[in-house]
Structure 1
Amino acid sequence: MAHLCVHEGESLLRVLYYDCPPFNGEVKLPVSGNPYTFAGSDKWLRDLAAKDLFAVRRGVLKFRGYKPKKVPVATQALTDEDFAPDFEQKGVDMRIGLDMANFAADRTVDRIILVTGDTDCVPAMKNCRIRGLQVVLASVPPNSVAAELLWHSDFERTVGWP
């Protein structure tokens, strides 16, 4: 996918991939109060980090409790199965922004190709453009891109899954 984002005449410096490993830890189930252990593996992130020209930037996945699976909530007696865990990814947006700001400040690249649908990246995109970097927004059909992302990029590049 990353190589498809790079056009002829461009060279790939590095692929930066931002994500977080699965949550690991023991929590109490929402109705019974019984303990439940989440045990995910980050092997796939370690495998990605070992690839040529690849760097993985890790955030943290926080457990935020439980959400009902159906709304409105059923009127009969609820069970643990009526709820789904609620997780929140933390620190990923900040890492994207810092890396983009560093590339812009150091002028180590002329162009950044960004694959995102998250409008939290807009301030970092603005900073890059103010400092003279080109920002290419790569989009993957059939997903549409938020207008705010297009407004703060120089080009949109449509990329299909391999």
Structure 2
Amino acid sequence: MARRTVAIFVDAGFFNRLFTQLVDPDMSMKPSELAKRMWHYWIKHVDRKSEDLYRIYYYDCPPLTNKVHHPITNRQIDFSKSDITRYKNKLHEALMQQPYVACRMGHLSTVDKQWGFIRQDKIHDFKKLIRGDVDPKEINPDNVSLRPRQKGVDMKLGIDITSVVLKKLANKIILISGDSDFVPAAKLARVEGAHFILDAMGRTVKGDLAEHIDGLKTHVSRYRRDNASGLEGIKVTPHHQDKKIP
């Protein structure tokens, strides 16, 4: 049987949030270590016995660098000097040093000035806040940050999948995302004879996306078990979870 060539496409806005909740909920890990763990997760989608990796495409946006006023404290925040900005820049640098990884950057739009919680818990829950179940005085201002919208990421991801498939650079596509906007890319990949596998990180696949993929595969279940037992997920060989969609 001929060996397959695999291309992996990672929607960072989706993947980073869920993956860090599993492996670094306290946000204490160094960017270089997190980058290694992310890469090890992605590479588990490649069967070394019968498949070769073409490339891992990682889609994200550079961090904010503008100045705004905090909605609670009213103090000015210079995002270019923030810990989050420095951390994300170092993470991007570390990822680009990993084998086969190509970082594809969009940009952030802050026109709407939407704010949200960095980490959610029983206090920092937007729905509870709206219902009046949480006293606003209990909110930690350091857990409140601007939530800009990504621009250009989905378009680049869809175009790259199309290009890789049409140029026959890979015949198996792994998409790590939960966004139904990628249905056209999934359709085209399958029409061109490529297998299209979705890793929704254990989330329910909504909309038309479930109808236009060849299967679901994720590796998050072992990470959850390891966290529950106090172990670090990446040091144990994860057991992947397959679910075939008819």
TM-score category by the smaller chain?
A: 0.7 to 0.9
* Equivalent residue letter for 2:99: D
Alignment counterpart, residue 156 of structure 2, candidates 92, 95, 98:
95
* Equivalent residue letter for 2:160: D
Please tell me whether the aligned partners of residues 180 and 207 of structure 2 are also in contact (alpha carbons under 8 angstroms).
Answer: no
1:57 aligns with 2:104: yes
* Equivalent residue letter for 1:85: L
Which structure shows the higher strand fraction?
1
Match of 1:126 in 2: 187
Which structure shows the higher helix fraction?
2
Match of 2:44 in 1: 4
Length-normalised TM-score, structure 1: 0.81
Match of 1:71 in 2: 130
| SS of the residue 1:132 aligns to | coil
Deviation at 1:31, TM superposition (A): 7.5
* Equivalent residue letter for 1:71: I
Matches within 5 A, 1:1-162: 1-7=41-47, 8-30=49-71, 35-38=76-79, 39=82, 40-41=85-86, 42-63=89-110, 64-67=112-115, 70-71=129-130, 84-141=145-202, 143-160=203-220, 161=223, 162=234
Length-normalised TM-score, structure 2: 0.56
Deviation at 1:147, TM superposition (A): 4.9
Gaps in structure 1 of 5+ consecutive residues: none
Aligned residue pair count: 160
Separation in structure 1 between the aligned mates of residue 207 and residue 72 of structure 2, nearest angstrom = 42
4+ aligned runs moved over 3 Å, structure 1 = 28-35, 66-70
| SS of the residue 2:52 aligns to | coil
Please tell me whether the aligned partners of residues 136 and 154 of structure 1 are also in contact (alpha carbons under 8 angstroms).
Answer: yes
Please tell me whether the aligned partners of residues 54 and 169 of structure 2 are also in contact (alpha carbons under 8 angstroms).
Answer: no
Separation in structure 1 between the aligned mates of residue 218 and residue 69 of structure 2, nearest angstrom = 44
Q: Identify if the C-alpha distance between structure 1 residues 72 and 66 changes in structure 2 by more than 3 Å, giving closer, same or farther.
A: farther
What's the C-alpha RMSD, in Å, of the aligned pairs?
3.1
Deviations 1:29-72 (A, max 9, x none): 45886532113121101110111111111121222314486436
Gaps in structure 2 of 5+ consecutive residues: 1-40, 117-125, 224-233, 235-246
Identity of counterpart residues, as a percentage?
A: 29
Please tell me whether the aligned partners of residues 30 and 66 of structure 1 are also in contact (alpha carbons under 8 angstroms).
Answer: no
